[in-house]
Amino acid sequence: MSGRPYYVDWDISHMFKVPQNVLSLHQVKGANIGLIGFSKGGDLCLSMASFLKGITATVLVNSCVANSMTALHYKEMTIPSLGSDLSKCTVTESGFLESLHIWNNPLEKPNHQSLIPLEKAQGPFLFIVGKDDHNWKSEFYAHIASDRLQAHGKDRPQIICYPGAGHCIDPPYFPARIASVHPVLGLPVFYGGEPRAHGRAQVDAWQQIQTFFHKHLDAKISVKPSKL
């Protein structure tokens, strides 16, 4: 077996009843559902919000607005993967891979079909962006989303950018993942981020995410600020 990663095509048709199934859980209070996705999980959440009914609010953490890595299927429709050029992958002095520049520009005509039609979504979006992300051009993608939504008469999404923050903006007080072995590639990858700025971004982003969800899912609940 080669060392190249293997991806299976995503099919979200079977997720059609996910909102209804989630609402039936006794832990769920109210009729609203929020999604949060990070990296590849972000464009999957964008697709779910775009095609499935009942999604009220969606948070994307350093995510792409185009379908990535493999084709995505929904009913009779297929969204192809955004193309990439692995020859543009760079290596740091420490031997870590950087994939920031490998992905094709989704705004260029040959790549338009990979863009996710997020204007079909029912609820608002929050984009969390690490400005030192070395995996995705996250800020660029967030502004593509903003322009697309406004072009279709939708509200501008909330975009929060964190200078010095890298790709892996985890919940607060988790160790900053500046670099590690990628779980899919099996290779050391540099994610970016300055430790202090990244740590502060994790704390603030967590508060912003909770505030966003409470605003759109349950306006009666307030969020206690961090004491960091």
Give the active site residues: 39, 133, 167
The pLDDT of residue 86 is 87
CA–CA gap between residue 212 and residue 34 (Å, rounded): 10
- Structural domains in the chain plus CATH codes: 11-217 (3.40.50.1820)
Task: For 58-103, write each residue's pLDDT tens digit.
Answer: 999 999 999 998 899 988 889 999 999 989 999 998 899 998 999 9
Residue by residue, what is the 3-state secondary structure of 94-158? Answer: CCCEECCCCECCCCCHHHHHHECCHHHCCCCEEEEEECCCCCCCHHHHHHHHHHHHHHCCCCCCE
- Going by the DSSP 8-state scheme, the letter that residue 86 receives in this structure is G
Mean pLDDT of all residues in 48-60: 92
Residue (of 208, 68, 67) closest to 125 by Cα position: 208
Distance CA 161, CA 39 (A): 15
> Which uninterrupted H or E stretch holds 25?
none
Q: CA 2 to CA 5: how far, in whole Å?
A: 8
| Candidate from 53-57, 130-134, 149-153, 209-213 with smallest mean pLDDT | 53-57
Per-residue pLDDT at 8 exceeds 90:
no
Determine which of 7-11, 88-92, 209-213 has the lowest per-residue pLDDT on average: 7-11
